[in-house]
Every structure is written in C-alpha cells, then in structure tokens.
Amino acid sequence: MKSKIVILSLVLAGLATVANAQSRYYAESAKDNYFISVGVGAQVCVNPDNSDYGLGDAITPLFNLSVGKLINPVWGVRAQVAGFNTKLYSNFANGAVGPFEEYKTDYFTLRADAMFNISNAVAGYNPDRLFEGYAFMGPGLQFAKAEIGGKDDTKALINGSVGLGGAFNINKFFAINVEVRGELGQSPFGDYSSSVADGAVGATVGATYFFGGKKFVKVTNEALLASVNGDIKKYKELLAAEQNSHAATKEALAAAEAKAKQPVEVVKEVEVAVAGPRAIFFNIGSAKIDSKGQVNIQLAADVMKANPEVKYIVNGYADKATGSANTNQRISDKRAEAVYNALIKAGVSESQIEWKGNGGQGAMYDNSNALTRVVVIEKAN
C-alpha cells in the first residue's frame, strides 16, 4: 500500500507539471530591474501660428531625466522630468491680427509613462538581443513661465504624450536610447496664440543604466518538459506493477486474518507496516497543497493516529535548479510547515511530529527537478 500511494503521487505530480509547463520570465526580487536614463535632443512647437511662420524657426533644445522599473520583459514604468524652453511666432494678440512676433517660455514637464517592449512581446525575451523597440505613453503636468505682454506669469498645464523608442544594448547594465515623442496640451502662450492647444514633437538621444543589470529568471524550459514526460511513462509502468503486487498482498492478508485468533492485533501490525514515507508534491514557487496532496495527508494522518508511539518528521524541499538559495530555503520551510499544519488539523498530536525545511536540492527522484518540489513525511530517527 505504501509503495502504491507514493508512486501514484509521483504520477499525478508529473501530470500537473506537464499541464502547467510553459516558458516565461519573471523578476526574482522586487529590487531588480530599476534604471535611470538621461537624454538630450530638440523639439518643435507645433502651433498653427508657427506653421504659418515656419516650423524650422521654432526648434528649441530638449533635455530629460528618467527613473523607472521593468516589471517584466514586456512591461515597465518610469517617471520623467523634461524641458528647457519653447518658442511661438504669432501675429495674433488679444484677438487682433498684426505683425509676427517671437514669444518664448521656459518650462519643465513631469511625466508618468507606461512602457511596452514591442520586441519582447512579439519575438519573446532574449537577454542577448542587441536592439529592442518599445512604445510609451502617459499623462504630464507642465509648469511654464513666460514674459509676454509685460507680464511674468507661471502656469500649470495638463498634457499627454505618446512615443516610440529604440534601445541598443551594450550589456546588461548599459543601453543607448533613441526616442521620438509627440505631445498635446494646453498652450502656455494664452491670448497671444490663436489656438488654445499646442502640440510638440521632440527627439532625444540618451543613455540608460540598470542598477545591478537586467535580471529575469526563466521558470521552465523545453528540456525539463521532455524530462517530465519521460518520468510520467516510467511511473505509470511502476504503478501497474505495484497494483499487481498489491492484489497478491491483499489475498495473503485475507488468508492470515482468517487464521488469526486476535484480528485486532493483525490489523494493528498492518497499520504499523504501512506507516512509511508519504510524498506531497507542489507547483513551482508554491506552498499550496492541492486536492491530490490532501489525499496523501489524510492517509498519513490515519496511520499516525493509529500508531501514536511512532514519531514522524515532515521534510520540505525545493528545486535547486530554479531560484536562489534564500528563495529555496524559504519555500521549503513554507511547504514543510503547510503539511505539518494540515496533519495537526487532521487530528495528529503535535508531540508526534515536527517539520524541517531543507532548502534547494538536486534531482531526488529519477533525475527530475520537477519532482524535487516535495514534502516527504517519514519516521524520525
């Protein structure tokens, strides 16, 4: 019975792994993938008055500074401050048309951008990719100060923008960026502009530095998937053999019970004989016990309660091939404690069991990393 239950658990764990196996990347720590960027370039104020006068004369310098974080290989966020000054050539003042005059305003804009990596979304994440294309968009708040018509006025204006960028990755720490942004918002020139809204188109070249370098961990791979498929076939064969053996054992047990004078003692010996290891398997990164694991825990609890003099230890393990040593130790602790609590809930005495997390381990069963995400219940030495 003991062997049958263990082998059945292995088969079910393998099937669950196959059903959920897929290649994806994630940031192992919330501290990873923060960056800072600087950029310099030029922009032009796209106002109907400038279009009439000539957009070339309205080109001004542009600077920006950004800090942000990549949430995963596709999505990121950043905050940016950008600005310098902008020009307007207008022949419209206070509702009257006259000669063209030049107006200039100093400004800076605070932006919040959502970033979308087009290359990783379409072609998949590649840590060695030399060039990446991305898009961004978000709202902004512009603070503009202008001396117009003898007035020194400061305004806070709302705008929004979208853009495209390209990153040339020098290594995992540094990248060279080229960005083009289009912006639309309220005009800071007030009554001296024939339009209540201004547009701006800007282009910058800059550099980005990733603190600690880009860090994304691959959860699974094709080699692991093939290994698990092979494991399932092997365990199905073992399960079939164990079922045949179990049938023969049941026949022998029935004969022994018929001859025994004290059936209760025979039953007790059978219970002690099956009070061996139990295996409860987990999905990657998880300490949640699924319905199949609950079956194993209930079977183990029944045996423990029938043999209160026997001490047991609940050993938790994690897959050494995935995650850091600290992460693996933490997850093995959580898995062992979760099974311990489930046994107590099933009626096992606290004095009869203890738990221990053993951290990341190499392949424990048939060279399969997936089957190392396990808690084993066994007799204490």
CATH number, position 171 = 2.40.160.20
Last residue of a domain, one of 190, 217, 244: 217
CA proximity to 29, closest of 221, 216, 209: 216
373 in the same domain as 259 = yes
DSSP letter assigned to residue 211: T
Distance CA(70)–CA(77), nearest Å, equals 7
What domain count does the chain have? Answer: 2
Backbone angles phi, psi at 330, to 5 degrees: -65, -45
260 in the same domain as 189 = no
198 in the same domain as 229 = no
276 in the same domain as 184 = no
66 in the same domain as 35 = yes
Q: Take residue 103 and report the two structure tokens written for it.
A: 């107006």
CATH number at residue 283: 3.30.1330.60
Most confident stretch, 19-28, 291-300, 336-345: 336-345
DSSP letter assigned to residue 368: B
223 in the same domain as 204 = no
In angstroms and rounded to an integer, the radius of gyration of the C-alpha atoms of the chain is 34
Of 12-26, 81-95, 156-170, 345-359, the range with the lowest mean pLDDT is 12-26
- pLDDT confidence bin for 159, thresholds 50/70/90: very high
Last residue of a domain, one of 198, 217, 236: 217
CA proximity to 202, closest of 107, 287, 342: 107
Residues 6+ apart with CB under 8 A from 192: 88, 90, 92, 93, 94, 103, 148, 149
pLDDT tens digits, 182-193: 999 888 877 777
How many CB atoms lie under 10 A from the CB of residue 21? 18
Last residue of a domain, one of 217, 233, 256: 217
Q: Work out the average pLDDT over 284-289.
A: 88
189 in the same domain as 334 = no
Q: Take residue 182 and report the two structure tokens written for it.
A: 């289009």
Give strand pairing partners of 217: 26
What is the predicted pLDDT for the residue at 67?
98
Give strand pairing partners of 360: 318
Q: Flag whether pLDDT at 247 surpasses 80.
A: no
Task: Please calculate the CA angle 14-299-332 and round it to the nearest 5 degrees.
Answer: 55
Residue 133 domain boundaries: 25-217
250 in the same domain as 136 = no
- pLDDT confidence bin for 206, thresholds 50/70/90: very high
Distance CA(208)–CA(35), nearest Å, equals 7
183 in the same domain as 129 = yes
36 in the same domain as 12 = no
338 in the same domain as 206 = no
13 in the same domain as 31 = no
Q: Work out the average pLDDT over 217-239.
A: 61
Give strand pairing partners of 160: 139, 184
